[in-house]
Chains A and B, each alone.
Chain A
Amino acid sequence: MSQQCQKYRALLSGFMDRELEDVLCAEIQEHIDKCPDCRNELKLLQITVLSIRNLENPPAPAHFLSSLRQRIEHETTAPAAGFWRGTTRWLMGHPALLAASFSMIFVFAFLLGRFSPTPQIAKTTSEMEPARALHLAQPLPAAYMARANAQDKTEAKDDGIEFIAMAPPAAPARTETRSLAVPVSFGELESAPPEPVASKPLTRIELQTPTQLVISIVRNDPSFQGAAIYPIRQGAVVQTKDSVCRITISDANFLEALHIIAKERSLPPSVEQAQKILKLDLEKLPSPLLPQ
C-alpha cells in the first residue's frame, strides 16, 4: 500500500461522514476514482456502517413506563432502601473493598472489646482503679449514708467507719469477685484459711453490696473455715464438707445491717447470730458430695 493510500484510508470515515473540508473530500474522491484498493476499502466500510444502521432495535416493553413509575415511587418514598441497594451493589462489585470493610469492622470490634470495661467485671473491686471502684460502690452506700449520717450525728459523731468511697487497699485484698460465674466443680474445697474479718479494722472491710457483707460474715465464722464461697446475687452459696447453703440478705435488711454493724463496730461472730441479728436468709441445699 502506497503512502498516499495509507494517508487517504485513515480519512475514509471522515469522508463518509462528510466531516472533512471540501478540498480534502475532493482529493480523496479523486484518489478513490483511480485506486481500486481504496475504493474496495471504502465499500467495505460503507457495508459495515450500513450493517449497524440497519439494525432493528427492539422497542421498549409495553409495561416500561408503568414499572418505571412504580420504581420512582418506591425510590422517592424509600430513599434509604435505594441507598442501601445501591451501596450493596457497589460493594458487591468491589470485593476487595468489601473484604476491607469486614476487616475494619473486626478490628474495630476487637479494639472496642479490648478497651471496654466489660472484661474487667471479672476483676475484684480492689483491683480496679479508684475512680471506678468508687463509681461501682456508690448506689447503696450513698442511700445508706443519707440515713446513717442523720442518726450518727446524735449518737456517734465519729465512729471511724467509712462505708463509701473506700480507696482500694494497698495489698491485694480478698474481696468479692464480681463475676457471677459459679464453678461447677464441687471436688476440692478451698484450702486457704479464711482471714478473720474482725481482726481487720472495719474501715478496710468492703461492705458495699449484700454479697460482700454475706461473704465477710461467712469468713468471720470459724465453723465455715475452709468452706468454698461462691458469690451470687444478694449473697453467696457456701459449700462445706457436709453441706451447701445459700445465704442471702434483702436490700432493706442490708441497709439495717450496715447500720447495726456501724453501731457495734464489729461483725457478728457467726452466721447463725447474723441470721438472727441482721436477718440473713439461710437456705440449706443438699450437698452434691453426699449420696442423695
Chain B
Amino acid sequence: MLGMVINRQKRSGDSRQVGDDPDPELIKRFLKGEEEAFNRLVLSYQNRVYGLCFRLTGSLDEAEDVAQEIFITVYKSLKNFRGDSRFSTWLYRITVNHCKNRMKYLGRRGYFTSESMDQPLEVEDGELARQIQSEDMDALSQMEQKEVQKLVQDKIQELDGEHREVILLRDMEGLSYEEISEILGLPEGTVKSRIHRARLELKAKLEKELGK
C-alpha cells in the first residue's frame, strides 16, 4: 500500500520512549535551584531546536542566535510552565514564535532577497499549474545528497511562512496534527489543510526546479 510506505521516523537526538520522559524531573530539579538540570535539558534539545531554527530561518548564524534566545526564554519562563502540555510542545511553541519574530525582523531589514517568499506558487484546489510525471521527481534520488539537501532547503525557504513552519513540524520533526495544533494555537482542521497545501506548494516548486 503506497499510503503506508512512509513511516514516522524519530529524528536524531530524540531517542526517548513514551513514558520514559525525563523532562518533568529535570524541570523540577531546575526549579529547586539545580542549574545542572537545565544544562541537561539544553543538551537533550539543543540539536532539535537548532535544526528547526536553521530550517525556519535558513541561516546557521541566525539559528544559533535564535536558539540561544529560545533557551534563555525557557530559563526565565520555566517557573511559569504549568505542565499542561509536554515540555517539548511548549519548547516548540517558543521556538516557532521566536523564529517568526526573527523572520519578521529580518524581513523588514531586507534580509531576504528571494522573490518567491512573497510570491508563492499558485496552487488551486490541489491541482498543479503544471502536471509533471513522477519520473521528474525521481531525479531527486539521482542527485548528489548535498545537492538534494540544498535544493530542498532552498525550496522550503521559498515557502510561505505559515506553510514552512507547519511542514517542518510535521515532516521534519514528525509531530502529530494534535501537537502542531497545540503549538500553533490552530484548530486541527486548519492544521490538516495547511499541511496539505504546504506539501502541494513544495511539490510544485520541486517539480518546477527538476522539470527545467
Interface residue ranges, A against B (CB under 8 Å): 1, 6, 9-10, 12-19, 25, 28-29, 32, 39-40, 42-61, 64-65, 67-69, 71-72, 75, 89, 92-93, 95
Using a Cβ cutoff of 8 Å, how many contacts connect chains A and B? 143
CA distance A92 to B110 in the complex (A): 13
For the side of the interface on B, what is the size category? 35 or more
* B64–A48 CB distance below 8 A: no
A42-B3, A64-B50 given as contacts; is B149 within 8 A of A55 (CB)?
yes
CB within 8 Å for A6 and B196 given contacts A52-B167, A55-B152, A65-B39: no
Where chain B touches its partner, the secondary structure class is helix
Interface residues of B (CB under 8 A from A): 1-6, 9, 11-12, 39, 42-43, 46-52, 54-55, 60, 64, 67-68, 71-72, 75-76, 104-105, 108-109, 125-127, 132-134, 137-138, 140, 148-149, 152-153, 156, 167-168, 170-172, 174, 177, 192, 195-196, 199-200, 202-203, 206-207
Apart from the given pairs A43-B137, A60-B50, 18 other A-B contacts in the complex at a CB distance below 8 Å: A10-B125, A15-B3, A16-B3, A19-B192, A25-B3, A43-B134, A46-B2, A51-B148, A53-B6, A54-B148, A57-B51, A57-B55, A58-B50, A58-B60, A59-B51, A60-B64, A68-B42, A92-B109
Complex CA gap A55/B156 in Å reads 11
Cβ of A44 and Cβ of B207 under 8 Å apart? Answer: yes
Knowing A39-B2, A58-B60, the reply to whether A64 touches B46 (Cβ < 8 A) is: yes
Kindly state the separation between the CA atoms of A274 and B195 in the bound complex, as whole angstroms. Answer: 99
Question: Which residues on B sit within 8 Å (CB–CB) of A54?
Answer: 148
Cβ of B48: which chain A residues have Cβ within 8 Å of it? 57
A64 and B153 within 8 A (CB) = no
Contacts of A68 in B (CB 8 A): 42, 68, 71-72
Given contacts A47-B140, A53-B9, contact A61 B55 (CB under 8 A): no
**Could you write out 14 A-B pairs with CB less than 8 Å apart?**
A9-B127, A13-B192, A16-B3, A16-B6, A46-B6, A47-B138, A52-B172, A53-B9, A59-B47, A61-B50, A65-B46, A72-B71, A72-B75, A95-B108
Question: Which chain A positions have C-beta within 8 A of B125?
Answer: 6, 10
Q: In whole angstroms, what is the CA distance A59 to B64 when docked?
A: 10
Query: CA–CA, A14 to B207, complex, Å?
Result: 21
